[in-house]
Structure 1
Amino acid sequence: MKEFIILTGLVLLSTHGIGQVSEFLDNPDAEEVLDSSQTRDADIYLFSKSTDDGLSLRWAPSSPNVWLEGNTYGYSVDKMQLDSNNVEKFIPLGQGLYKAWPLDEWKSIVSEDSPYTAAAAMTIYGAEESTGGDSFTKGDQDLNNRFGFALLSADLDKNAATASGLSATDQKVEIGEYVIYRIYIKDELGNARSDTSFYLCQREEVVQETAPIISEIEELENVVNLSWDKYSGSTTFTGFYIERSDDNGSTYLRITERPVLDISTNLMEGDIISYADSLETNYQSYYYRLVAVDAFGDESLPSEAVIAMGRDKTGPEAPENFIVEEQNNGFQLSWEFDNALNDITGFNIYKSVETEDNYDLISQNLSPESRAFIDNDPDPIKTNYYYVTAIDTAGNESSSKINFGITTDNIPPQAPGNLRYSIDTMGQLLILWDAPRDNDIRGYRVYVSNAQDDEFASESGDYLKQTYFATNIELETLTEKIYYFVQAIDWSYNVSENSMTLEVVKPDILPPSQSIFVDYEVTEEGISFNWIPSISEDVKEIQLLKRELGQEWVSVNNFDQNTLTFLDKSVEEGVFYEYTLNTIDDAGNSTLSEKTLNLEALKSFFLKEIPTLEAKSEDEGIVLTIGYPEKENFTFTIYRGENEGLLSTLKILESGEEFVDKDIRKKVKYQYAVKANAMDGRDSKLSNIISIKK
């Protein structure tokens, strides 16, 4: 018989009794030794738990065959105490041999209050099933069932564990001491095939086990579902009792006669256990808590209580005969509903332009008497889908069937216009067109032919959303031209007339396709642009060019093909500029944008302030001199006040920058200020006020 040494515990052997253990591991009787770095399943597993009396020990055979050997021969449990005296000797623990009680002795512990003792006795002494079918297969199944129930009964009942020969208590261990336990099947004749196992255990201070935790509650119709993690706490629990209180937690009644067990056998099933409590009535609050049972048959402290109740989850009858009819520019929705059979608070109307998803609530809590609703704002382009729900007093909704309405549209859109194109030497063709003014365009289709008078074929496939079409054409052909036209299709599938036919010439050498402005914005900060870059693959750079009217183009900046936006800050207010994009390929060929932008830099709200205003007293009066550097034609509004009084308009000077105020009285102190006025209605802010006395 091989002996496997399996050392387990809470501390490392290197810090406690390493000398004794090293000599022990050299035991010549051990044919194979496993250290803590190796993994090997044991034939007998042993668990320990520190108690006030010492160390409680529980062991379990790893298979039905080992269990049968244990029932036949019993389990020998020896101990070696690791202490300062360095005494290394195994001695029997207690009675030494632990074996299942004879059947007659079980009668003293079997009772209605202890069902697991009877179950344990039945697994050991009950008759095996072996009749009918494949007796060999049924025998294995029966043995597995008996083995499983035997271990479960020992887990849930201390008496069952003791009577099954699967538990013991070591009362001669001090707190902090380490003990090595040796456990094996006691077979004097050597017929047992199981291996000896060794376990290192330590007695610790007794710590109250952590209570389990109810992690989730679900309130359903006459049912409360409780869920919890089977590992919630410091111990792996075997079973759980459910307790319930109907007096706000003052007293609890255990509503599960037997513990709720974790019966999962597949690791993929997860660690969550659930229990459903069936209730007679809804809306009666109950307090729930868990009491867990560990492998030693000890119960934990109760979990924290949760409050739950059954709730009404049954919706009312659904509205019937739901109809959608076109009315004027909208849709009238109507339905049937029997109020006498349902207690409802009203109806909700939902709408979407998709069959199954993205429904919006468009009318809420229509009165229970309502049987119709008018949607005056349907989508004029897409199909409108609707359904109506009845809502009961608990907020449950029941939905009618989905129905739909389509606005009538038999008018085709206008044809796309202004077809144009650009093409590069690689045969990459970009066709652009102007969208029709219709606001219900679904998309476009492009048709192509090698000859203007031949049949055209669809080139674009599905609908195009954009007003351009990019393709690659073969240049090395006998035909020098290719022809295209475009159709527009609206959301009612009406098709426009064909656009003008676009003749595309296949050049031998072409510059790159153009880059196209798609957006711009004029602000006080400057003028910003967005563009679509050329689709040519050999583009080297894109130049943004500008010029004032009548001037030559100047470069604002150069960009690579990935740059799509730029803000030009180098503009003067009120000046008109023309902008274009110049696309240059790596061969030096260039293409200016077909469309330029003529834009005026934004003028500021106020004219520039008047920097200087001077006043001199002359014989003829007070001479005002206005210093204003701007070169445009401006008028000036002159304001005058007397003796620090309010200013009022004195004169609008139509030309020049000098004015003589002749209406002057002696010993009066005058104040003057001036505004500049432009022809476009803008003014400058009031200048500084100056004072002078004649």
Structure 2
Amino acid sequence: MYSKLLTYLILPIILGFSQLTISQELIVTANPAVKVIARSLEDRVLLRWAVDQPYAWKKANESGFLIERITIESNGLALDNGPRIVLTTQPLKPAPLEAWENLATQNQNAAILAQALYGQSFNATPPGNSTMTMVYTINEELEQRHTFALLAAEQSWDAAKLAGWAFEDTSIIKGEKYIYSVKVAPTDEEAIKIDKSAVVAGTPFYEALPKPIELSAVFGDGVANVTWDFNLLKHIYSSYNLERSVNGNPFEKVNTSPIFNAQQGADGQSAALFYQDTITNGKAYKYRVKGFTAFGEVGPYSEEVGGMPKERLAFTPRISRKKMIDPNTVELLWEFDEKGNEAIKSFYLSRSNKDNGVYTKVVENIPVNQRKITYKGLKAINYFRITAVGKNGIESESYSSMVQPIDSTPPAPPVNITAKIDTTGVVTLEWNRNTEVDLAGYRVYRNTSKTAEFSMVSPALIKDNRFTDTITIKTLNTKMYYKVTAEDQRYNTSEFSKVFALNIPDVLPPSPPVIKSFANNAEGVAITWVPSSSKDVKAHILFKKETQSKEWLQLKVLESDTTFMDENTVAGTFAYTVIAKDSTGLESTPAKPIIVKRKGQTNTEKAMNLTAVPNRELRFIAIQWRIKNEDISEYRLYKSVNSGPLRLYRTLDKESKGINDVDISVNTEYGYGIQGVTRTGVITPIKKIQVKY
């Protein structure tokens, strides 16, 4: 008898849930697990849990569940070894079938849950009689039992407690926080591994239930579409009731079953719940919703929304003809069944620059019997709609109709062209957007010569006031010139914009100079070279080094001269070269070096002494030198910073034997070199030293 009762109660609900079971996607983890949630109240903690996989759920129900509580905080003080209490003396299991009878006769969700636990079958029809078919049927039935059982427990706290899937802890202490862990009770027989789960709860976490939010109602002809936000409060409310008031009478529940989110969107979320209510036109309606938690709690009502459904107009106007009177005037004719005249009070004409743009009323209060209107003030492109206004305030709008007068006036040429180019040759052009309503787009032209004919680089119309071009920057051309035209929908083309000159970045180094000749005489070494042929050369730089040395010494930077006399020569063999440098800092390859041999007597480095001692307290470097040569007329002191080349720093008279260098910085390495010059012009080698300050 009781089995028949369960079948009678559950059948309508299963049929109602059939769409849900088809669309639900099962998410399977590596190990099945107990999933637990908690609700903290002011005097107790409510726990709800479920096993996430069907077969593990079945085994867990047979074993039962154990609950353990650990105190982790008391009145704001964290506890390292808080009390650990087992709250269940015996495993929690589903109550026997007989215990469900009273609740199942009053609660459909309890009937569903009892059928899922104890019913001999659960609406799973085998498609055949083979062994594989029977295995499939058993698995399918277990999945259905699992799914409907969890749904029913979600909707009924009492049924969840009777199933052994809910617990109420009334032994808590105000101000304490706890960790509750729920696990499947161990059994003697070997069973599958089911992971336990834990949740933190306690009176400090108590919060009052919030109102449902963003309730709205859109009223149509005999219908109200009611929506409210589900996603933001889905962690609190699992289902809702919708209530309705008619003409100020008391609210009554609209839905026969709880409203909940039965399907997920493609992104895994559904932002709103939706309910369509069939109602009577001409009456005032108000709606409100309240939510239900998985712990049997009922939340406060939402804010109320209201409105009145009205009957749609039976007929819709249609613009049937357009007649151009002159380039500025059009006559519009429309059709509207005269049977609908009694239901309307007027027509109005609206206009827009775009088909789907914003329409503005241009002629109002057109008589009910009128079917044409003359409009003056046409623009280059016009979209019109005629709207019938019902006596009940409902409007019926025609499709849009385009009117475009004859147009031979081109758009204005684009202005304020700007462009920038990167080091890869990508050019970005922009200009002010034209204001013509019938503008179709733009075309871009370019050339490396300002006076030659420009070539189009955008065969297709450019819809935006921005264009990206790519040019070769490894070229001898220094500029690229651009022009832009605008074009309307009648193919009228504007004049060219002003020419914009874009500077092409220089990535090609200048051509190298060529040393033409040199003269080696008593005055020194005179060098002559043919300058670089590149037009953007800013200077030529002359270098010198001893043939045995790897370090080139910069002699001179010359902006226009093509000859140089090196008077600072000593006996030895030297190499000279010259490079060209352009305005962007690019340097050519060095010219082929020349080798020059100088004769004469001079000191060797062994006869020279140089010291550099840093004084960090007084912040200077003491430099001292000595050269064994009585014929010295002056000294030349060179200096370098870090890995830079030596450069002439000071020229001192023959009496000088040292200097304190105060032009220094902390954590910097300095190089110094001393060189002597005799009265006859003979130059000693440079004695070098490195010091770190």
TM-score, normalised on structure 2? 0.49
TM-score, normalised on structure 1? 0.49
